[in-house]
Structures are given as structure tokens and as C-alpha cells.
Amino acid sequence: MSETASSEPMLEINDLHIRFPVRRNMLGRVTVENHAVSGVDLTLMPGETLGLVGESGCGKTTLGRTIVGAQQATSGSIVYDGRDLTQLKNREKGRYRRQIRMVFQDPFSSLNPRMTLRQIIGDPLVATGEAKGAELEDRVAEMMRKVGLSPDYMDRYPHAFSGGQRQRVNIARALIVGPKLVVADEPVSALDVSVRAQILNLLRELQAEFGLTYLFISHDLSVVENIADRVAVMYFGKIVELADTAELYEKPSHPYTEALMSAVPIPDPSRRGRTGRVLLPDDLPDPTKPPPGCAFASRCRYAEAGRCDTGEVDFVDGVRCVRSEELELQGIAKTDAQ
Amino acid sequence: MTVKETEASPESAGAEGNGRRATASQRQLVWWSFKKHRLALVSAWVLGFMLVVIAFCEFFAPFDDRHRDSEYTTAPPQVLKLWDTDGPDGFQWGLHVDGYTSEQDPRSLRITYEANPEDRVDVGFFVKGEEYELFGLIPWDRHLIGPEDPEDPMYLLGTTTDGQDLLSQLVYATRVSASVGVIGVLLAFALGIVLGAISGYFGGWIDNVIQRVIELFMAVPSIPLWLGLAAALPADMSPVTRYFIITTILALVAWTGLAREVRGRFLALRGEEFVTSALLDGSSRRRVMFRHMLPSFSSHIIAALSLSIPSMILAETALSWLGLGLRPPAVSWGVQLQDASKWSVLSGAPWLLIPGLVVVIVVLAFNFVGDGMRDAADPYKH
């Protein structure tokens, strides 16, 4: 894994908001909105892998989809290469779509069952008219070899392949146009544990070979620990904690991070923490009516009435919690085997 | 985490025993599963035969569609005989039919015909008959079957009240009626697929507008709509123009159902990740709709197509039978059946119902083929 070398950020997300209309009144004006992402600031450095974790519905996938341009932002900016991606005109989008690519979560629904691997992997080149004929075939074959698929299978349909192989196809399609940044949305969540490690290794090799930057979205902390340089924890549309991987796992600063970590199964009994599992009550706030104060307060076992449920909580020193200084939270020790 | 890299291979393909299924194109898979449907296969042969007849109908018909023999009106079908025992020389081989003797009832003035074994009409294959031009290009005068002497009567399915050969008329009518069905359905499908795709893909107000228009079309009872549109056509229109206008009218009524179906499919597919990924690949929306999404259910569309041809054929037949569709001199099944609409005529000449039988056979064949294709349409469902 490459350490962050350059100081120029590759991607800068500033105060990004994404809201979905839920209900409209008779005039078509939106009356109820779902706040999927509410004020995210994130910076990606070239060559790094930033893990983005959080439970389902916290807005991490929406954030990823907005970065690649599959989703419109409501406000805020995503600056890449000096340009705000949220303000691009349609004809400019093509250039950025080639540099920022996405690997999808579901290896089954993300591959068109009626197309051969040749058509699927080569589609970005065909759609933009970049390559055809023998050149197209050569590039598809080369990409397939790079992701560990034999080019002999080029004319097969996705139904002949396993989940892990389909995910390799997904990766090949994402990388064939030579991107700089790859948003991997839960790329291994749908896979078996054994295959998962293969795909993670493949992603790491490809990162080294092509100098890629990853935004790695996952709900699985053990996977993120494995691949990420830094980890951002997202809760209810906001980043609640951001730290280097080792630091975060050893000593989380946000109660939500602690709760997430306590949910990671640890095979070695001697390494299981003293506190055991932190069970969160299942009362996520209504995303159409964000609560005042800390959004996690309703589920937090450290929450203090009067301090946590009033006023906006600022993001200070990589954590969004008013009590972070006072709390002594339990992490999980860095796994030794890599 | 220590896991060694393994070269991936499609193990599931190996598990299926051979690579045949894994590399087979969708078309092959559909064909393999269609072949298992016996009735559909037989029906496909029937339709194939019909297609050949349509293409070479001048050759298959013993007489021209304008041929009229006023000497023999409403003559009964003749029996094709292989040998002859009543001739002057006793037993004799030779394909022939018996001629007619006619008798006029002095009171009703109705003429009745009887087969007359004395009057032998020799019949042959590939006989010289009326001249015609195949596909409007190649002049020829041979007919598959016909009387050796073109002046002799040979009416294997009898004649109409106008003295036309029912068999020849039927062959020409098949061309007209079946092509109205097929062309009409293709028109309806072009409209239905495009509007359905737009409606389902874009959603929102576009979807709303298209759906309301469809509801409007569906709310109007189709028979009065046909009648109204067809009745508005001037009576002195040429048969060809009339043919195309009737086809268009039928298509305008029929497209709605398909548009609904296509819309539903597009709505369902719109959320699939492969659609998002195709957009991110840089495909235009039109490319995503018609290159990525439509092929996912092209086989369903073909099945729906062959299932909607029958209703189109029946609609044309009904319209023509009512006298609002095609009109003589154009011949279609509906025009032919007009002859059979009077009981007084039908009671003496039941063979006039034969076109109805052909309608039933063709409609059933299209339905069976459609059924077979619908079942075969999704070869990936296991």
C-alpha cells in the first residue's frame, strides 16, 4: 500500500448535501425531504485508500454515487483537478467519468446478463468510440489478464461465472479506461470470506500497478481495516470520525465507532475486549426530520441530556462528539497477520 | 490475512458438464428450449408453410384472383381422383376431377350442380395457366396444380357466389390478411416500444402524460373506434391505400398494451446497477435504453409480438366482414366470409365457411408459437 506522498489533495468534498424529495404538495413543491448526506467534508490524497464505513442507510453509498456522477448533489462541492464536479456541464462529464470510476456492490445485478464479458468490459470503450475491432479485443484481453481472468472466457455470459469472478469483471470494466480514482462501493460484501481476500488482494495489486486512489465503502470494519490507510466513519449523513486506520481501531474517539467495532467478530477469544458487545437500540432518527444536536444521541450510551441533544456538534480533531475528550473508548487491537 | 492468489476459472461452466451452454448465445438457448415445445414447433411449420404460400401465391393458386366463371356460381368442391373406372376405356389411371352438370330449379331459379363422372377434367401439376409475374418481376405462367385445359372447371374447394375459385381466393386472401396482421403488429410495436421505453425510463411527468394517453386509447371501446375510423374512409379509395390505412388504424388501436408492458420492464430494469454502470461508462441514454435494456427482454417482445398477431388478424377479418375494412376486389378472409354471412346462401354452400377454418388454424398457430416462445424466452431462469 502506498503511503500518501503528495500534499495536493486529489478530491476535496466541501459541505456536501444530498436530499431526496419524499413528498410534494399539489404545486409540485417538495414538502418532505430525506437528508441522505448532510454536510460532508472529506479529502482524498493521491494514492491513498480511504475507507468509508457506517451502517446501512447512513448515506455512504449515496456519497459514492454522487462522486462518480450517478447522483446529483443538492449543495456543496466536489473538487477534482481544480473543477467542481457538481457544476459540470453534460459534455464535460465524459472526461471525469473516465477518471473517476465505480465498482459496484452487487456482482449479479451490475453485469448485464445479456452481454458477453467482451461486451461488458469493452463497453466504456465502445460507448465513447475510443476503440473497436482488434484494438478493442486486445485491450479487453489485457484487462482481463490483469484482473486474473483468462481472455479465453471473453465470449461467455456472466451467468457462467461465480460471484468473485463477476467482481473481477466489474473491476476490469472500471479500470479499462485508466481511471485515477476508484469508488468501490462494498465491492466484497456479497462475496464469500475466502473470495473476499482474493478480491482485496487484487485491488491492492492494481492500486500499486496503476497508482490508483480508492474510496472504499463498506459496512464491514474488518475489511476496511485490511485495506484502508485512513477511515471515515459516517453516521446519519455526516462524518462522525476520521482517523488513520491503526489509530482509529486502537482508540476510537466516537461512541458510534466503538459500537461498530464491538460488532466485529473476533476469532481469537484472548483478543476480545473487556466490555464485550455494545448493543445499540434500534431507533435511528427519522431522516426526514434530523434531530437537533448529535444525531447519535438517541442511541448513545454516553449521551448526556442537555449537552448532546442541543445545538450542532462541530467536527473537531477528527471527531464529531462533545464528550470525546472525557470518554475512554474501547477499540480493537490491530490484527497482526496481514 | 494470508490467502494465496488463485487463477480464476469459471467453475460453474465446468459443473454444467460442457462449455456448450456457457458459450451459447441467447438465441441458441432460446432455440433449444423452444424445440422442446412440440405444439409450438408444429405450429411454426404451419406458419412457415403459410409464409411460402404467401410469397408464391400466384404459383400456388390455380387461378388468378380476378378469375371469374359465371357458368359455375356456388359450385360445390370437387374430389381429386387418381383413377377412373367410368370412362369409355374402363379402368384408367390419371389425376382428374369430375365436371359438373347443372340443373335450375324452375321455381326458385336456383342452380344446383352435381358431379358428373362422365365429364372428366384432367388435372396436372405445373400446368400452364394464366400468366402472372412473380414478385411483380418474373413473368411466368405455371401453376402448382390446375386443369390441363385452362377453360375446364377445376374447383377443389368449390366456387363463391360470384363464380370465383374458392381455393385461389383463399390463397390470395391469406397473403392479404396475414400481412395485415404482421405489418400492423410491427407498426404497433414500433410505437409501443418507443413510447413504453421513454415512459418507463424517464418516469415523472413524461410517464404521466404517456400513461394518460394510453388510458384514453384503452378507454375507447375498440370496435366502435375501428368502425368510426374505417367508416371515415372514402369509398372510392384504391384497394392498396385502403389496405395500408386499415393496417394503420388497427396498429393505432393495438399499441397500448405493448407500451404498458415495455414500460413495466423499463421501470423494473431502471434500478438495476448495470443500467447505472452503462450510464457511467459514457453511453448515451438512447444507447442505454435500446442497447443495454431492451435486449434484456427482446425475447419477451418477440413472444408478445406473435401473441398479438392473431388479434390483429381477427380484427381485420371482423372489420372486412362487416364491410368496413377491405372491400372487393381486394380479397381477405373477412371479405371472403362476407359471402357466408347469409344463411340462405350458407345452407346450400357450406364450403364458403372454409376461410373461417383457415382463420382458426392460423390464429391458433400464432398463439402456440407465441406460447412456445414465451416459455423459451428466458433461458437464464435455469
pLDDT digits (tens, 9 = 90+) for A235-291: 988 999 999 999 988 888 898 998 888 888 777 776 665 556 777 777 777 878 888
pLDDT value of residue B301:
83
- Decide if B5 and A201 are in contact by the 8 Å CB cutoff: yes
Q: How far is B5 from chain A (nearest CA, A)?
A: 6
Asked whether residue B113 is assigned to any structural domain, the reply reads yes
Partner residue facing B8 (CB), from A114, A168, A173: A168
Half-sphere exposure (CA, 13 Å, Cβ side) for B292?
A: 31
- CATH number of domain containing B270: 1.10.3720.10
Tell me the per-residue pLDDT of A84-128, one tens digit each, with 9 for 90 and over. Answer: 988 888 788 888 888 999 999 888 888 988 888 999 999 999 888
Looking at the fold, whether B151 and B267 belong to one and the same domain comes out as no
Within 8 A of A156 by CB-CB distance, chain B residues are: 10, 13, 22-23
Does B7 contact A159 at a Cβ distance shorter than 8 Å? Answer: no
pLDDT at A212 > cutoff 90: yes
User: Which chain A residues are within 8 Å of B380, Cβ to Cβ?
Assistant: 113, 159
Residue B89 lies in a domain: yes
Q: Do B282 and A127 make contact, defined as CB atoms within 8 angstroms?
A: yes
Same domain, B292 and B347: yes
A127, A156, A226 member nearest B281 (Cβ): A127
Facing A68 at nearest CB: one of B22, B280, B296:
B280
Res A5 pLDDT > 70: no
Chain B CB contacts of A160 under 8 Å are 10, 12-13, 16, 21-23
Same domain, B86 and B142: yes
B22 within a domain of the structure (yes/no): no
Task: For residue B126, give the 3-state DSSP assignment.
Answer: strand
Mean pLDDT of A310-314: 81
Average pLDDT (A213-238) is: 91
The last residue of one of the domains, among B142, B160, B178, is B160
Same domain, B146 and B190: no
The pLDDT assigned to B381 comes to: 54
B300: in domain: yes
Query: Which residue among A94, A114, A159 sits closest to B296, beta carbon to beta carbon?
Result: A114
Determine phi and psi for B355, rounding to 5 degrees: -55, -35
- Cβ-Cβ contacts under 8 Å, B1 against chain A: 197, 200, 226, 335, 337-338
% chain A with pLDDT above 70: 93
In angstroms, the separation between the Cα of residue A128 and the nearest Cα of chain B is: 6
B358-375: b or e for each residue (b if 16 or more CB lie within 10 Å)? Answer: bbeebbebbbbbbbbbbb
In a domain, B12, yes or no: no
Residues B326 and B376 in one domain: yes
Of B326, B328, B297, B298, residue with least CA distance to B181: B326
For chain B, how many structural domains are there in total?
2
Are B153 and B271 within one domain? no
Q: Quick one: B260 and B145 in the same domain?
A: no
Report the residue from A106, A128, A156 with minimal CB separation from B22.
Answer: A156
For chains A and B, count residue pairs whose Cβ atoms are closer than 8 Å.
Answer: 104
Task: Say yes or no: B265 and B318 in one domain.
Answer: yes
Q: Which chain A residue lies closest to B10 (C-alpha atoms)?
A: A161
- CB-CB neighbors (< 8 A) of A226 in chain B: 1
Which of A112, A157, A162 lies nearest to residue B11, judging by beta carbons? Answer: A162
Q: Among residues B160, B189, B204, which one ends one of the domains?
A: B160
Same domain, B139 and B272: no
pLDDT tens track for A45-81: 999 999 999 888 888 999 999 999 888 888 999 999 8
Q: Which residues of B touch A105 (CB under 8 A)?
A: 273
The reply to whether residue B295 touches residue A102, judged by beta carbons under 8 angstroms, is no
Q: Please state, rounded to an integer, the average pLDDT across all residues of chain A.
A: 85
Tell me if B115 is assigned to some domain: yes
**Given this model, what pLDDT does residue B96 score?**
78
Distance from CA of B196 to the nearest CA of A (A): 20
pLDDT at A276: 65
Is A149–B8 a contact, with Cβ atoms under 8 angstroms apart? yes
What is chain B's percent helix, strand, coil content, to nearest 5?
Answer: 60, 15, 25
Substitution target from A1, A128, A152, A157 for chain B, most B beta carbons within 10 A: A157
Q: Which of B160, B193, B208 is the last residue of a domain?
A: B160
User: Residues in chain B with pLDDT < 70?
Assistant: 1-26, 86-90, 378-382
- The nearest alpha carbon in chain B to A154 belongs to B23
Q: Which residues neighbour B14 within 8 Å (Cβ) at sequence distance 6 or greater?
A: none
Same domain, B197 and B92: no
Q: Is residue B332 situated within a structural domain?
A: yes
The pLDDT value recorded for residue B109 is 74
Residues B311 and B188 in one domain: yes
Please give the residue range of the domain that contains residue B112.
69-160
Place of cell 463497453: A123
HSE of A57, CA atoms in CB hemisphere, 13 A: 8
Residues of B within 8 A of A150 (CB-CB) are 7-9
Integer angstrom CA distances of residue B321 from B114, B161, B172, B335, B364: 29, 16, 16, 5, 20
Q: Which residues of B touch A194 (CB under 8 A)?
A: 3
**CA A94, A96, A100 angle in degrees (round to 5)?**
125
Indicate whether B137 belongs to any domain: yes
Residue B330 and residue B263 share a domain: yes
